[in-house]
Structure 1
Amino acid sequence: MHRPGSHVAPPRPTRENQGRQPKKDPGAAEPLLTSRGHFPDLFRRSVLSAIFNFQSLLTVILLLICTCAYIRSLAPSLLDRNKTGLLGIFWKCARIGERKSPYVAVCCIVMAFSILFIQ
């Protein structure tokens, strides 16, 4: 049945597929874009929320910096043994938190004010 406002006409029945619904592969992934070029709502809200929302991305980065600096103050050897590679990101975040602590603290205060009173 053709819905008003849709862009694609329904396929015409042929002799082979007359009266049958097309089989849907249960393991097939859903398309990233809908027919109108938008992300589906579920995908947009769950996976991409912190990536494409700039304020959420800044909040995640600030929390990562503060958490890594706190963990390094409790157990320095835990982060110091992984200075390179993928786990080196946590060591670098701890160094940023230690050396730039006044700036990080101001950013945390501004972010908290923004989240509490502006949103």
Structure 2
Amino acid sequence: MTNVYSFDGILVFGLLFICTCAYLKKVPRLNSWLLSEKKGVWGVFYKAAVIGTRLHIAVALSCLCMAFYLVFVK
């Protein structure tokens, strides 16, 4: 179990946040409500969704590498 205060915990949180926002961008009702703002605090959700959709291969590979690290190395 990772905690948020370690570096790998922050990486896991960031990857899960990006994946969740990219998934929520595909849901029409949540897309218009949560991802409509492009600036400010709510803009973080939009920017994470853009990163997740444009760099989906890099994000997926990062998730696989982090899963391998957490299961087998740590």
Q: Normalising by structure 2, what TM-score?
A: 0.86
Aligned equivalent of 2:60? 105
Percent of residue pairs identical: 40
Q: Deviations over 1:38-63 (max 9, x none)?
A: xxxxxxxxxxx413x11000000000
Q: Which has the higher contact order (CA 8 A, sep 6+)?
A: 2
The structure with the larger Rg is 1
Aligned equivalent of 2:72? 117
Aligned equivalent of 2:51? 96
Alignment: residue pair count: 70
In 1, Cα distance between equivalents of 2:34 and 2:57: 22
Q: Of Structure 1 and Structure 2, which has the larger fraction of its residues in helix?
A: 2
In 1, Cα distance between equivalents of 2:14 and 2:68: 17
Aligned equivalent of 1:59? 12
1:1-119 to 2 correspondences below 5 Å: 49-51=3-5, 53-75=6-28, 76-119=31-74
Structure 2 spans left out of the alignment, 5+ residues:
none
In 1, Cα distance between equivalents of 2:17 and 2:38: 16
Structure 1 spans left out of the alignment, 5+ residues:
1-48
**Deviates most, 74-83 or 99-108:** 74-83
Q: Normalising by structure 1, what TM-score?
A: 0.55
In 1, Cα distance between equivalents of 2:50 and 2:14: 14
Give every structure 1 segment of 4 or more consecutive aligned residues whose post-TM-superposition deviation is greater than 3 Å: none
In 2, Cα distance between equivalents of 1:68 and 1:88: 11
